[in-house]
Amino acid sequence: MVRWITAQHERYGEAVRVAPDEVSFISGETAWQQIYGFHAGKQKSLQFLKDPVWFGYSEESKLSIGSALPEDHTRMRRSMSHAFSDRAIRQQLPLILEYIGSLIDGLREQARSESNIVDLERWYSWTNFDLTGHLTFGESFGCLSKRADNNFNRIVSKLDSAATHLVASNYFTITKWFPSWIFPQSMIELMNLRHEVLKHMQDLVRRRLDREVTQPDFMTEIAKDRGENGLSFPEMEMNSLFLMVAGAETPSTALAATTYLLLKNPDKLEKLRSEVRDTFGNTSVNDLDKLVGLPYLNAVINEGLRFFPPIPTGLPRVVPPGGATISGRYIPQGTAVYMSQYPANHSSRNFTNPNAFVPERWLGGHAYANDKREVVKPFAYGPRNCVGMNLALAQMRLILAKMTLAFDLELVHPERDWLDQKSFTVWEKNPLTVRVSEAK
């Protein structure tokens, strides 16, 4: 559907009514603020609330910051934001570097062995899953050490697909009466496993709260506000699951996609390698402040997120009573509206050569002076933007810089388009099979 909507925008323009009560926008320079932005004071009644059909609200889902009602979201956000502050990330840097070091050491071992072909997407996923697990629960899931998914990892990675299938059924009432016609038995079994995941979350959260830790983690900050003004225990459970899915899934997608795009564009990879080498020389790539200041590294990350946003779809909001004007168009109340990220990022309306991977477009080059870079919002926008954005960017900067200096990578199947994937809210990622050798 993502690429179908992309084609409709190329044909019909910046606003497309994809259903009688649903409009997709790619005019991000205005639509992001008008749909997702802050509305305070007299403008508060103009707040666009999340579409209950798409988000499939239940009493359970409302306990998570991702689907919480506005009054609860503000409280949850305030409680969780401390865990993702710049100060907290710097406190967690030794742990972040430890897991990234395990990634590099493991791949170096593979490079020195006869079996030097790896699925790099899985390695990125293991790293982020282990790290997010440790930051959330104070313990690793052991994926990197075992070089394999564990059962919990496998189930969590499939929850987005299962949830998307269930949400799709909300649009077609008849499916409520005939669920067996829609879902294969495996899907029903998967939803039963979801209850096992939540039970496991209870055990992990309880174990973490009972444990004293010397290294600060997410729960260190969240537990400080536990109670009336913070998160209740059920909210801690649901938000832990949310952090695991969002914290492990989206950075892994961004890293795999950006690595693939660099391997398909070796001249860009060499420019990145030269910048990192010139900055760090023979010293360890551990200085976040230096990495933040590398223009080409940041341009590569921005372009990777533009080209292949981890959440490619629109996240629907409902137009409030009285209707609203979005990008110069009046939209009646009750209509579901959204910014479609992948279509916006690949639109000739917004970008020169939109289907080319060009980090230079983020460096102010004359050829791309007319690009609407403000359209790209991979971490969403407004009061519900991604609370973990700074942590995700720190991980991406560190991993890409270290990988660039440590290894020479080669696509095993360069003829295959790794980006040709299905999307179930997030991408259903293909294996990224590469031959890994130590950098010369």
Binding annotation for heme: 386
pLDDT digits (tens, 9 = 90+) for 261-288: 999 999 999 999 999 999 998 788 999 9
179 pLDDT above the threshold of 60: no
Partners of 339 in beta bridges: 25
* 87-100 burial code (b ≥16 CB/10 A, e <16): ebbeebeebbbebb
Tell whether the model's pLDDT for residue 195 goes beyond 80.
no
| Contact yes or no for 76/68 (Cβ under 8 A) | yes
CB contact at 8 A, 387 and 77: yes
Per-residue model confidence (pLDDT) at position 28: 95
User: Average pLDDT, whole number, for the chain?
Assistant: 88
Overall size of the chain counted in residues: 440
More confident residue, 119 or 240: 119
d(Cα 143, Cα 150) in Å, to the nearest integer?
Answer: 6
User: What pLDDT was estimated at residue 189?
Assistant: 62
Confidence class of residue 434 from pLDDT cuts 50, 70 and 90?
very high
pLDDT of 85 above 80: yes
**Binding site: residue ranges?**
386
Pairing of strands 407-411, 433-438: antiparallel
Phi and psi for 225 in degrees, rounded to 5?
-100, 15
Domains of the chain: 2-438 (1.10.630.10)
The neighbouring-strand residues paired with 17 are 23
Q: What are phi and psi of 118, to 5 degrees?
A: -130, 160
* Structure confidence at residue 247 (pLDDT): 81
What Å distances lie between residue 328 and 5, 15, 29, 78, 304, CA to CA?
Answer: 20, 10, 12, 34, 30
pLDDT confidence tier of residue 184, bands split at 50, 70 and 90: low
Q: If you count DSSP H runs as helices and E runs as strands, how many of each does the chain have, helices first?
A: 17, 12
Antiparallel, parallel or unpaired: β 336-339 and 22-25: parallel
Q: Are 51 and 314 in contact (CB under 8 A)?
A: no
In the predicted structure, residue 138 carries a pLDDT above the cut 90: no
Among 117-121, 138-142, 165-169, whose mean pLDDT is lowest?
A: 165-169
Distance (Å, rounded) from C-alpha 213 to C-alpha 196?
26
* Contact between residue 300 and residue 359 where contact means Cβ atoms under 8 Å apart: yes
pLDDT bracket for residue 187 (50, 70, 90): low
Q: What is the pLDDT of residue 43?
A: 61
| pLDDT score at 239 | 85
**Cβ proximity of 242 and 66 under 8 Å:** yes
Is the confidence at residue 188, as pLDDT, over 80?
no
Range with the poorest average pLDDT among 74-78, 192-196, 320-324: 192-196
Query: What is the model's pLDDT at position 351?
Result: 97
pLDDT digits (tens, 9 = 90+) for 212-230: 777 778 888 787 777 667 7
